[in-house]
Structure 1
Amino acid sequence: MKEYTAQLSNRGGWWRLYVVLMDVPVSQWPEHDFGPTPVVPTVAERSRVLAALGFVFTDGAEWEWTEDSETPDDDTSQVRLLATARARSLNGDTP
């Protein structure tokens, strides 16, 4: 069963969840915007959105958080948060 990377990102207070599909243009990746919110979407909210996009978390999948800067090599740059988790298609096929 093929696995994919689900990612949750924040930019300017907007949270977005999307699934990375390697041989597909980024504009066609399944995605959902949570809209502007000061809090991180809960794991349950992310799970519901992932299912609505046609995916589920793989067994034992956990979110891993990374911090990046808006401008590389500038420690005064705004921080961007990115979380990743492993997922698979709901029907087991390529989406």
Structure 2
Amino acid sequence: MNAHTLTAQFSSNGGAWRLYVVVPGAPDWPAFRWESTDSVPAVAERRAVLAALGFEPVAGAEWSWTEDSQDPDDDTTPSVLIAALPVREAVQV
């Protein structure tokens, strides 16, 4: 990977929350799954996971949220919540 901007996504379809970084061309994306589904992981928790995966938010970036359905052709299916955040590889000091 180089220093270009990537997208971290944070999603749940009613079960566990997952955070992953979309890395075009990579066979496996860096990812983390929260086993507890009692609450939405806080921004600080997500930032710590990103750091553990080797990424950091782009300066000034904020999470943006969208909603989808499990079956795009049937709006009665459960919702999928997806958040996105521009990230970059963490700077090694």
Provide, for residues 1-53 of structure 1, a one-character-per-residue CA deviation record: whole Å limited to 9, x for no partner.
Answer: 3111000010342000000001112xx11000011313111000000000000
Residue in structure 2 matched with residue 9 of structure 1 by the alignment: 11
Q: Within 5 Å, give how 1:22-41 maps onto structure 2.
A: 22-25=24-27, 28-41=28-41
TM-score norm. by structure 2 comes to: 0.90
State the alpha-carbon separation in 1 of the partners of residues 45 and 79 from structure 2: 23
Q: Which runs of 4+ in 1 moved over 6 A?
A: none
Residue in structure 1 matched with residue 90 of structure 2 by the alignment: 90
Conservation of the 8 A alpha-carbon contact between 2:68 and 2:80: yes
Question: 1:35 is paired with a residue of what secondary structure?
Answer: coil
CA shift for structure 1 position 75 = 1.6
What is the aligned length? Answer: 90
State the alpha-carbon separation in 1 of the partners of residues 9 and 58 from structure 2: 14
Alignment of 1:78 with 2:69, yes or no, is: no
Greater share of residues in strand: 1
Conservation of the 8 A alpha-carbon contact between 2:66 and 2:81: yes
State the alpha-carbon separation in 2 of the partners of residues 3 and 75 from structure 1: 33
Consecutive unaligned residues of structure 2, counting only runs of 5 or more, are none
State the alpha-carbon separation in 1 of the partners of residues 43 and 14 from structure 2: 21
Identity %: 51
Residue in structure 1 matched with residue 51 of structure 2 by the alignment: 51
